[in-house]
Structure 1
Amino acid sequence: MTKHVPGPSPESAESGGGVRSVKSAERTIAVLEYLCSATRACSLREVTTELGLPRASGYALLTTLLNTGWVEADGTGRYRIGIRALRAGAAYVERDDVVQRAQPVMNELNIELGETIHLARLDGAEIVYLATNISRHSLAVVSRPGRRLSSWATGLGKVILAWRSWEEVDELLPETLEPRTANTITDRPALRAELEEIRRRGHAVDEQESTIGLRCFAVPLDFGTAPNEALSCSVPVVRLSPDREQEIVAALLGARARIVH
């Protein structure tokens, strides 16, 4: 389905106390977000078709972004996100209070458990990875900062959603809960029951719902309000046992207490 970039109508050109929406800025952001989410370099036609842009406007935007380093060309007429975007993303993480509070504890947890530790934040119906400490094992889980995944398909997302009312969760999620694996919960009543159980026990478990062969344990980071961030440990199922699972959950709960104190 073609996605059209929203532009201000005559009736809604001004909002938020008289601040006028700038159509060119909206289009620029849409192009950058599209290229950020793309898994490969994209042609001008792909960008303009997907975003519903006039070809001339799309070309002008991409040329401007190319000249300023926000977009790069691969030499075949295709475009990908540029190095300036990396600088902006790195600056966001470096200045984020939660990341700064969590990172030392994540380092300790990574050493203690020897497994991959993630910090993520809810953004709409998705979670965004903010920081990752990779496992010391050769069989390891890697999720780069900035990666986005469906909240309902991850332990990180489910443990954040669990501390919200079902009405808020239901409104937040898309009408259709697309699966990532055969284990992803896509039935709303089943998801609601799962979130209630997570809230009761205090942590979430991703039972290979995001990646087959991988189990993830997650705890919320609640700084006095409904949590918007969570901490997790991802482990290949071949390295798990009931005792090991209890050890991981206990370590995560201890880490959470050190971060949110």
Structure 2
Amino acid sequence: MTQHPPHPSGETTGGVRSVKSAERTIAVLEYLSATTQACSLRAVVTALGMPRASGYALLTTLVNTGWVESDDAGRYRIGIRALRAGAAYVERDDVVQRAQSVMAELNDELGETVHLARLDGAEVVYLATNISRHSLTVVSRPGRRLPSWATGLGKAILAGRPWEEVDELLPDTLASRTPHTIVDRAALRAELAEIRRRGHAVDEQESTVGLRCFAVALGFGPVPNEALSCSVPIVRLGPEREEDILSALLRARERIIR
């Protein structure tokens, strides 16, 4: 997961000097949000280049206020207050509110998992999910972050931007999630051009082996920031089924953005 280091101490933004303690707090919360397991104090301060004493004091404050939790072994993970803040963001988001009823109907129509995601840096963040009614399914819960270049959602959004902007946005090395992930820049550029031509993106097992994802960008402005997708295990797909899914996705997009 890409880490975004805080601005150097004392850097000004819009004429206002940044607050070092606030930057460190945000860095800790983002780091713990991105990890898949509880972290030791040493792991946190090493990853963030923070003095041990300052890191311990900050983590203790965050534990006391509920933003971070600690276990008996002294390891840290994101706390329940962060969950509440994240839930409030999603509940009050205009795009989520516009999309929710349409996503529910799309999920009922297709019986497959439907996702809504937003571009954040070089990653997509899942905002809402309607889970498949089938037992065989793969779900990305709201708040999960994945590389934009490895997902149908991300590629649909990136295809609506000039390549120069995409190239600057992406990391120097495109990490692979599966053997099918596109990690060559020239190949990705060609893929995005093809997505623009046909009007939708396909994640061909690039994020999860055995799963195909169809996605369309939601254009609320000059360039898209959000996309809608339907993820289906390949064993349940055929040419007619794919056409039905794409037609339903396109109809759903028009209802959301109109």
Give TM-score scaled by structure 2 length. 0.97
Paired AA for residue 82 in structure 1 = G
The whole-number CA distance in structure 1 between the counterparts of 2:220 and 2:6 is: 35
2:6·2:27 contact (CA, 8 Å) conserved in 1?
no
Deviation track 1:171-218 (CA, whole Å, cap 9, x = no partner) reads 111111111111011111111110000001000000000000000000
The whole-number CA distance in structure 2 between the counterparts of 1:182 and 1:14 is: 43
Could you say what the CA RMSD is over the residues aligned between the two structures, in angstroms? 1.2
- CA distance 1:230–1:5, change in 2 (3 Å): closer
Alignment gaps of 5+ in structure 2: none
Structure 1 partner of 2:12: 14
SS of alignment partner, residue 128 of structure 2: strand
Deviation at 1:5, TM superposition (A): 4.8
1:5·1:52 contact (CA, 8 Å) conserved in 2?
no
Alignment gaps of 5+ in structure 1: none
1:4·1:50 contact (CA, 8 Å) conserved in 2?
no
Of 166, 170, 189, the residue aligned with 1:173 is 170
- Aligned residue pairs total 256
Deviation track 1:40-80 (CA, whole Å, cap 9, x = no partner) reads 01111110111111000000000000000000111111011
Structure 1 partner of 2:188: 191
1:205·1:215 contact (CA, 8 Å) conserved in 2?
yes
The whole-number CA distance in structure 2 between the counterparts of 1:209 and 1:240 is: 16
The whole-number CA distance in structure 1 between the counterparts of 2:6 and 2:186 is: 33
Give TM-score scaled by structure 1 length. 0.96
- Percent identity, aligned pairs only? 79
SS of alignment partner, residue 120 of structure 1: strand
Deviation at 1:20, TM superposition (A): 1.1
SS of alignment partner, residue 116 of structure 2: strand
Of 234, 237, 244, the residue aligned with 1:237 is 234
The whole-number CA distance in structure 2 between the counterparts of 1:224 and 1:40 is: 37
The whole-number CA distance in structure 2 between the counterparts of 1:13 and 1:169 is: 26
Q: Which runs of structure 2 are paired with 1:140-219 in the superposition (5 Å)? A: 140-219=137-216
Deviation at 1:8, TM superposition (A): 3.7
The whole-number CA distance in structure 2 between the counterparts of 1:134 and 1:80 is: 26
Q: Is residue 2:97 matched to residue 1:100? A: yes
SS of alignment partner, residue 216 of structure 1: strand
Paired AA for residue 219 in structure 1 = V
The whole-number CA distance in structure 1 between the counterparts of 2:182 and 2:35 is: 25
Q: Is residue 2:44 matched to residue 1:40? A: no
Deviation at 1:7, TM superposition (A): 5.2
Structure 2 partner of 1:67: 64
Deviation track 1:125-180 (CA, whole Å, cap 9, x = no partner) reads 00000000000000112111110000000000001000111111111111111111
Q: Is residue 2:202 matched to residue 1:227? A: no
The whole-number CA distance in structure 2 between the counterparts of 1:75 and 1:174 is: 37
Structure 2 partner of 1:54: 51
The whole-number CA distance in structure 2 between the counterparts of 1:44 and 1:139 is: 38
1:162·1:199 contact (CA, 8 Å) conserved in 2?
yes
The whole-number CA distance in structure 2 between the counterparts of 1:118 and 1:217 is: 10
SS of alignment partner, residue 126 of structure 2: strand
